[in-house]
């Protein structure tokens, strides 16, 4: 776990805000990659949402909508996006698993990159869990 954290720290610290060290990695990644659509507080009100065909989801009500249990693995899979069969009309949200892996594989190689990418998505899913109201 220490090893993974060091890797993730390296990938997060690399070219990102110094503030990333004072907040959780999940929060830093969220503000970096997700807030533009889902809003800083996750309510689906980010500025880019206005120009999309579909409104970004309100991420604060996922537990409520799932009968009181946070749907961790579904959220993980949706963020990663690589294993989801596209529905009609495709998907407006980027496939983060692919995008992160492209960056991470450059630094850590294909296998290390996959490990770091998976850890980043775990951090994000964990942060989305914290956003539940």
**Using CB under 6 A, which of 7, 12, 28, 78 touches ligand HEC?**
78
To the nearest whole angstrom, how small is the minimum distance from the Cβ of residue 9 to ligand HEC? 18
Q: Which of 109, 121, 123, 108 is nearest to 11 (CA)?
A: 108
**Using CB under 6 A, which of 12, 116, 124, 131 touches ligand HEC?**
124
Residues 6+ apart with CB under 8 A from 57: 38, 44
Instruction: Please list every residue from 18 through 47 that binds ligand HEC, using CB under 6 A.
Output: 33-34, 36-38
Interaction between residue 57 and ligand HEC (CB under 6 A): yes
Cα separations (Å) of 116 from 31, 40, 90, 92, 102? 18, 24, 27, 24, 11
Binding span for ligand HEC by CB under 6 A among 2-10, 12-20, 88-96, 111-119? 88-96
To the nearest whole angstrom, how small is the minimum distance from the Cβ of residue 33 to ligand HEC? 4
Q: Which of 131, 133, 132 is nearest to 26 (CA)?
A: 131
Q: What is the DSSP string of 104-123?
A: HHHHHHHHHHHHHHHHHHHH
Q: For ligand HEC, which is the closer residue by CB, 34 or 101?
A: 34
**Using CB under 6 A, which of 40, 48, 82, 102 touches ligand HEC?**
48
User: With contact defined as beta carbons under 8 Å apart, do 70 and 63 qualify?
Assistant: yes
User: Contact positions toward ligand HEC, by CB under 6 A?
Assistant: 33-34, 36-38, 48, 52, 54, 56-57, 59, 62, 75, 78-79, 91-94, 96, 124, 128
């Amino acid at each position: 776990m220490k090893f993974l954290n060091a890797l993730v720290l390296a990938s997060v610290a690399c070219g990102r805000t110094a503030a990333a060290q004072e907040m959780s990695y999940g929060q830093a990644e969220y503000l970096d990659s997700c807030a533009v659509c889902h809003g800083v507080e996750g309510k689906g009100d980010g500025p880019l949402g206005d120009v999309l065909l579909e409104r970004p989801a309100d991420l604060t009500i996922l537990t409520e909508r799932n009968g009181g249990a946070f749907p961790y693995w579904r959220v993980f899979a949706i963020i990663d996006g690589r294993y989801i069969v596209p529905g009609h009309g495709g998907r407006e949200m980027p496939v983060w698993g692919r995008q992160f892996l492209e960056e991470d594989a450059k630094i850590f190689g294909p296998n290390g990159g996959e490990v770091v990418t998976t850890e980043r998505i775990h951090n994000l899913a964990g942060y989305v869990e914290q956003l539940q109201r």
